[in-house]
Amino acid sequence: MTTTPLRLGTRGSALALTQSQTVADELTTATGRPVELVRIVTRGDTSSAPVAELGVGVFVSALRDALLAGEIDIAVHSYKDLPTTEHPRLHIGAVPRREDPRDALVARDGKTLADLAPGALIGTGAVRRIAQLRSLGLELQVTPIRGNVDTRIARVLGPRADLDAVVLAHAGLARLGRTAEITETLDPMLMLPAPAQGALAVECRAGDADLVETLAALDHAPTRSAVLAERALLATLEAGCAAPVAAYARLVRGGHAGSTFGDGPGEEMIHLRGAVISPDGVRAIRLSRTGTPASAAEIGKALAADLLDAGADTLMGSTE
C-alpha cells in the first residue's frame, strides 16, 4: 500500500477547509492512505462582486485548473457551485452523504421569519433565496450580501450589526458547528433549496483509474441519485430560463398515485420538487415528480419540461 499522500485541493475558507478535512479523514479511514490539503485561491474568493454577476463556476475553475495541471490529485467542491455541463477530462469520483440541504435563518432575539416585523432587513447572497423571500408576502426588505459565514452572522449578531436576519445554508452551519445560532430551519415548502445544496463533489482526473476506484469508497448512492435529479432539472432549465431555480429530491419508500416512473409497493423512490420564481417573487411555478433512483436524471429532465410547459421561461418578465 502506497504511503505517498494524496493532494486534496480546497478553497481556503473555514467552511471549505472543514468540509475538505472531513473528506480527507474519510478517505484515509477507507484506504489507509494519508491526505494533505492544498489551498487554492479562486476568483470567487478575491472578488467582492455578487456571485450572480461573477457567473457559474467562479469557485471551481482554479481548482479544476490545478487538477488538470497535476498540482493536486483530487478536489472537493460544494456541488451546487459546479457547472451542470460535465467536464470531459474530469470525473466526480464520490458524492459523500449529504448534510441537511435546507436553508436556515439566523435572526436577532431568536426570531423566526413570521416574527420579523414588516420592513425588517434580511440579507442573503442567493437570487433564489431573495426571490422566495419576496414571494412570502411578509413585507421584508431583502438585500444581497457577500462574505463567509462569520462575516454574515456578524451582520446580525455582532457589535456592528446592521441586519435583522440572514439566510444561510443549514449544511454550512452544521459543518462549522454553529447550528446553535439558527433561529429557524426553513421548511422547503417555504424556501426550496438550491439544486445540490448540502452535497459535496469529490473530483479527480478521468484517466486516473486507480483514484476513480479509490474515491468510490466515499460515494453515498442515495445522495448521488438525489443530486443527479436536481441537477438534471437545473441543466435542462438553463437552456430556456434565467429566473431563479430551486429543487429538492428526497428518497422515500413507495410511490404515490400519478407516479410517472413506477410506484411498486415498498420500492425506494425519488420525490423531486422543483420551482422557478420571478426575481421579484410575484410569480412562481412549483411542480413535482416521482420515480425510481435509476431514472434520476430522467425525472429531473421531465420536471424541467413540465416547468417550461407551465411558463417558467416567461418569469424573467416579472422584475422590479
Residue 276 backbone phi and psi in degrees, to 5: -125, 130
> What's residue 264's pLDDT?
44
Q: State the catalytic residue, choosing from 25, 45, 65, 81.
A: 81
Averaged pLDDT of the chain? 89
CATH class of 6-96+199-219: alpha beta
> What's residue 58's pLDDT?
66
164 in helix, strand or coil? coil
Active site residue 81: yes
pLDDT band at 316 (very low <50, low <70, confident <90, very high): confident
> What's residue 254's pLDDT?
61
pLDDT tens, residue by residue, 13-34:
999 999 999 999 999 999 899 9
> Looking at the chain, which residues constitute the CATH 3.30.160.40 domain(s)?
225-317
CATH architecture, domain defined by 103-185: 3-Layer(aba) Sandwich (3.40)
> Looking at the chain, which residues constitute the CATH 3.40.190.10 domain(s)?
6-96+199-219, 103-185
> What's residue 80's pLDDT?
92
Asked if residue 52 has pLDDT above 60, the reply is: no
- Pairing verdict, β 103-107 and 184-185: antiparallel
Cβ neighbors of 239 (< 8 A, separation 6 or more) are none
List residues bridging with 35 in a β-sheet: 6
Asked if residue 41 has pLDDT above 90, the reply is: no
pLDDT tens, residue by residue, 187-215:
999 999 999 999 999 999 999 999 999 99
Distances (CA, A) of 1 to 80, 98, 278: 34, 29, 54
Which CATH code, of 3.40.800.10, 1.10.357.10, 3.30.160.40, 3.40.30.10, is assigned to 225-317? 3.30.160.40
The residue to which cell 435529479 is assigned: 229
124 in helix, strand or coil? strand
